[in-house]
Amino acid sequence: MAADIITDPGALCGVEGAGAMPACTIRAATPADVEGIAQLFNLPGFRNGTLRMPHQTVEQTRKWLETSAAAGGMNLIAVKGQHIVGQASLTRFVGRRSHAAGIGMGVHDAHCGEGIGSALLGELIEAADNWLAVQRLELTVFSDNQAAIALYRKFGFQTEGEHKAFAFRDGSYVDALCMARLHA
C-alpha cells in the first residue's frame, strides 16, 4: 500500500495531542492505494453505511477507481500514519444535470468521531463550490445512520425525501433519505 507516500500533503483533518500533529491527511486516491481502499470498503461498519457487497476484491476496487477517474470523478482518501482511514468521492452528472454531482463517503470503523468525515466532506464541498462550479450536491443516506445525517446537516444538506425499502442490508430492507445542498 502506498498510503505513506504523500508528496502533496493536502488538507489536514483534526489534530493530535499538545504538539498539534495532523491526525490525518486528505489527498487524492491513486492506483497504488487500491489495496488499502479495498480493506476499508470491506470493514463491517463502513460497508453497513453503503451499498457495497461483502468481500469486495482488490480488482473490483481497482475497476471502480479507474471508471470513476475516467468519468472525471474526484476520489479522496484520508490517511493516518500509513493507513487509509476514510474515503470520499464526487461524481459529476452530465447533460442537463451537469450543474449537479453525487457524493459518497465513509470512515474507518475504528476512527469514527475523529473529524475525518468532516474533513473529507469539507474538501468535496470546497472543490464543488470553488473549482467545479457545482450548484447542487446530492446523496442518499440510510435513515438509521444518524451520525452521517448529522454530519450532512452540519454542512448545509437538507432532506428532500425518503426512499422506503431502499436497499436490502443484513437480512432486511432499510429506508434511505435523499439529501441535497444547493450552492448559493
Question: What is the predicted pLDDT for the residue at 14?
Answer: 54
Q: Structurally, how many domains does the chain consist of? A: 1
Q: Residues 52-78: pLDDT tens digits?
A: 988 999 999 999 998 888 777 899 999
Q: How far apart are alpha carbons 121 and 129 in whole angstroms? A: 12
Predicted confidence at residue 85, as pLDDT, reads 96
Range of the domain at 71: 11-140
Q: How far apart are CA 9 and CA 136, in angstroms?
A: 28
Please report the sign of the dihedral spanned by the C-alpha atoms of residue 28, residue 35, residue 116, residue 50: positive
The predicted pLDDT at position 11 comes to 56
pTM of the model as a whole: 0.86
Q: Is-contact 29 41, C-beta < 8 A?
A: no
Question: 85-105: per-residue pLDDT in tens?
Answer: 999 999 999 999 999 999 999
**Which domain CATH number covers 123?**
3.40.630.30
Domain for residue 179, yes or no? Answer: no
Judge whether 183 lies within some domain: no
Angle between helices 58-70 and 34-41 (to 10 degrees): 110
Domain-located, residue 118: yes
Contact 177, 149 (CB under 8 A): yes
Instruction: Please determine, for residue 4, whether its predicted confidence score (pLDDT) is greater than 80.
Output: no
C-alpha cell at 169: 442490508
Residue 153 resides in a domain: no
In a domain, 164, yes or no: no
In the chain, what is the greatest distance between 2 CA atoms, to the nearest angstrom?
Answer: 50
